[in-house]
Amino acid sequence: MAPANSGKTTSETIPLEEMFRDKRFTIPEIQRDYDWEKKKQVSNLLKDLWRYHTFTKKEVPQYFLGTVIVYDSRGKDNFQIMDGQQRVTTLLALAAAIKSHIEHYAKTSGAKRKAELTKFIQEEIEDVFLYYKIKPRRTWRLTPKDDSVVEVIKQMSTLKGRSPEDVIVRPDEPNGQRLYDALVLFHKESLKSAKKHNPSDPYPELMEFFRTISQNVVVTMTTTRTLSIALQMYISVNGPNSKELNKFDLMRGLLIAKAHALHLDDEVAPHMRSLSEMLKPINKKRKDSGINNCVRYWLESRWGKNLVDSDVMDHLDAEIRAFDRIEEFEEMIFQLYNYAFWYAKVDDLRQRFLFPGYMQNQRLTGFLGAATWNSAHTLLYTAVLSSMGKGLTLDQCEEVMDAVEWVNIRGWSGRDGSQFEKIYPWAAKHCLDGTPFSDWFGEFIGKLGGVLDDRPIQGFTHLSDHPVSHGSSARSKARILLHKIRGADTNPGQRSKECTSCRLLPLGGPGWNIKQEKEDHGSVSGRIGNWFLLRGVSEGDIDKFHHPIDERIKEIGKNVHTKPEIDAIGEIRNRLVKGVNWKVSDINKRSASIIKELEEHWPRDFASRKKK
């Protein structure tokens, strides 16, 4: 293999002992966490290696373990692993487990045999696999990026013949837990396999097994001088079968590569670790889709424009290439850190986070039938919250989300969302940049008003002649409109179980003459004359309802809790006491009343809206 400082990309198939010898390996920030599971990849690797050792080696002199791609831009034999960190880390755990067994064997052996075993441990395991240096200070062969994995590596190298379970406390962090579990499995199963193959003398068999791993198991080690080439090779080698890197993985790689080139590794690395931690809740809940969405929304907000997905990384690469100061790294990382914090909050419906704009955001989610984490308006809302207390006051945050809610619900249809793809990033950039609110908000309202001009339906008067259908999407719209005029303060989002207005809607199709509606005393039909679903109901139809209106009103009264509901039900109850029935004319009257209220809350002129 050509020397690391030759400036060339080299590739050679070599035994593991040659790959490890005289080299240090570091897991860079671009890499994912250690994620091999003991019952899957770890167990399968051990079984495959034993099968090769006991059967296949006689016919096939080498066992190929895949490609390892590293880069070494400074020519100091300190290799950054681009591809292969899971295998490298796991092999060190296997070496440490076997080392502990041989140490135990040495304790029970005579002086001569003990010396031979000690030499085997030092020269074939420690010096090749575990330690880069022992003097003047012990340096481990591998430096992971995760502290819990680092701690397991330190301790697994010093078991001294004992079981890992007797020496190491299982870490609290998932990455350290997985490596600890791999070590425990290797310690138990490697000796068990040796005893199965050679019951009378298992320890020498275990030593031969390790020599097979060291000398007969090979990898193709590819070494480059730059991270970018290493990344391209990773994609080329793994192709469509690789675990695709998400947008944050790629961004992290660009930042680390640039920091490396400027000799700012030590300054940038801690910030990247903090950012990775901030993104973990999003990854845990939404996996790569959530990470990709968060990073894309942030970038569109940062640059103030909608991006084609394939162009995102090109734009980011161009910006990062121009960096030449640590302050530029910090500004970008801290901005995404703050954006990701609020993105996760917006997507968390386990609690009622009543921060500015929360209710408008949730009503929009329900009205549009969208999921919070990938709704178009979430891009802007997250930027608004990121600017709270910095560029925007709490009232100004409310104003922005009032406007977003207004244009979507006033326009009624969720179609033509592409019209907002230029407006939301434009406004979001002003938020992130700290532009004075008065300098851009008026223009923002003008842009939104322009969208209304192109909508086929504006406002709510069309509901008098064209009622909402009985489909789930229409019921979601109806629920959100009722939520607004009722002045409810509970979560009205599409999938929320918190909002009691969900119980205001019929379970079935239009009309009262259906089983579900007859038995649902708390439905909107009884409360406000179900103006969304009732059309053409006659007085005779009302007389045939399964439950008399007074019984329905009595049941409804047990559930109402907002003033508009209490007033409406109280009015109906008072009429019934006086012997005045609830008639079709009352349904029509109530319909007109609600339409009027909706027009007040979401008028054509944004400034004249009724705030609630």
pLDDT in tens, 7-28: 578 889 999 999 999 889 988 7
Lowest mean pLDDT segment, chosen from 27-36, 151-160, 294-303, 528-537: 528-537
Lowest mean pLDDT segment, chosen from 161-165, 485-489, 527-531, 601-605: 527-531
Which tokens sit at 466?
Answer: 């064209």
The tally of domains found in the chain comes to 4
pLDDT at residue number 321: 87
* Domain annotation covers residue 491: no
pLDDT at residue number 428: 97
* Domain annotation covers residue 209: yes
Residues 484-501, mean pLDDT to the nearest whole number: 60
Residues 347-371, mean pLDDT to the nearest whole number: 79
Residues 162 and 99 in one domain: yes
Residues 132 and 221 in one domain: yes
CA 111 to chain centroid, in Å, comes to 57
Q: What is the pLDDT of residues 81-95, one digit of tens each?
A: 888 999 999 999 999
Residues 261 and 401 in one domain: no
In the chain, pLDDT over 70 holds for what percent of residues? 76
pLDDT at residue number 520: 40
Residues 526 and 404 in one domain: no
Burial of 508 (0-12, 13-18, 19+ CB in 10 A): middle
Helix/strand/coil for 171: coil
CA distance 315 to 328: 16
Residues 236 and 358 in one domain: no
131: nearest Cα among 22, 242, 249? 22
Contact 33, 150 (CB under 8 A): no
Predicted confidence band at 362 (pLDDT cuts at 50, 70, 90)? confident
Predicted confidence band at 350 (pLDDT cuts at 50, 70, 90)? low
More confident residue, 74 or 479: 479
Boundary (domain end) residue, out of 241, 256, 273: 241
pLDDT at 565 over 50: yes
Predicted confidence band at 375 (pLDDT cuts at 50, 70, 90)? confident
Boundary (domain end) residue, out of 348, 369, 399: 348
pLDDT at 462 over 80: no
Residues 293-298, mean pLDDT to the nearest whole number: 93
Residues 211 and 253 in one domain: no
Considering the chain, what is the average pLDDT of its residues?
Answer: 81
* Domain annotation covers residue 78: yes
Residues 389-413, mean pLDDT to the nearest whole number: 90
Residues 382 and 518 in one domain: no
Residues 548 and 401 in one domain: no
Which tokens sit at 385?
Answer: 């919250």
Which tokens sit at 158?
Answer: 């010093």
Angle at Cα 577 formed by Cα 515 and Cα 587, nearest 5°?
50
* Domain annotation covers residue 485: no
DSSP secondary structure of 251-311: HHHHHHHHHHHTT-HHHHHHHHHHHHHHHHHHHHHHHHHHHHHHHHHHHHHHHTS---GGG
With a CB cutoff of 8 Å and minimum separation 6, the contacts of 328 are none
* Domain annotation covers residue 44: yes
Contact 158, 125 (CB under 8 A): no
| Residue 321 belongs to domain spanning | 244-348
CA distance 247 to 93: 31
Which tokens sit at 575?
Answer: 């009429």
Helix/strand/coil for 409: helix
Helix/strand/coil for 142: strand
With a CB cutoff of 8 Å and minimum separation 6, the contacts of 80 are 25, 26, 27, 28, 70, 71, 72, 227, 230
pLDDT at residue number 534: 44
149: nearest Cα among 262, 35, 247, 41? 35
Residues 79 and 133 in one domain: yes
More confident residue, 232 or 225: 225
Residues 19 and 85 in one domain: yes
Residues 322 and 367 in one domain: no
CA 600 to chain centroid, in Å, comes to 39
Q: Could you list the beta-strand ranges (E) of 461-546.
A: none
Burial of 494 (0-12, 13-18, 19+ CB in 10 A): buried
pLDDT at residue number 302: 96
Residues 19-43, mean pLDDT to the nearest whole number: 87
pLDDT at 304 over 60: yes
Predicted confidence band at 567 (pLDDT cuts at 50, 70, 90)? confident
CA distance 569 to 326: 64
pLDDT at 518 over 60: no
Angle at Cα 272 formed by Cα 268 and Cα 277, nearest 5°?
155
pLDDT at 135 over 90: no
CA distance 304 to 118: 64
Which tokens sit at 274?
Answer: 């903090």
Residues 587-592, mean pLDDT to the nearest whole number: 71
Residues 578-587, mean pLDDT to the nearest whole number: 68
CA distance 566 to 588: 20
Lowest mean pLDDT segment, chosen from 43-47, 398-402, 505-509, 572-576: 505-509
In the chain, pLDDT over 90 holds for what percent of residues? 40
Gyration radius of the chain over CA positions: 33
* Domain annotation covers residue 286: yes
* Domain annotation covers residue 530: yes
pLDDT at 41 over 90: yes
Which tokens sit at 320?
Answer: 């990062």
pLDDT at residue number 433: 95
pLDDT at 255 over 50: yes
404: nearest Cα among 447, 436, 341? 447
* Domain annotation covers residue 528: yes
Q: What is the pLDDT of residues 139-188, one digit of tens each?
A: 888 988 888 999 999 999 889 999 999 999 999 999 999 999 999 999 99
More confident residue, 114 or 576: 114
Q: How many CB atoms lie within 10 A of CB 313?
A: 18
Q: What is the pLDDT of residues 208-230, one digit of tens each?
A: 999 999 999 999 998 887 666 77
Residues 209 and 257 in one domain: no
Boundary (domain end) residue, out of 241, 275, 300: 241
pLDDT at residue number 134: 66
More confident residue, 479 or 155: 155
Q: How many residues does the chain have?
A: 612
CA distance 329 to 319: 11
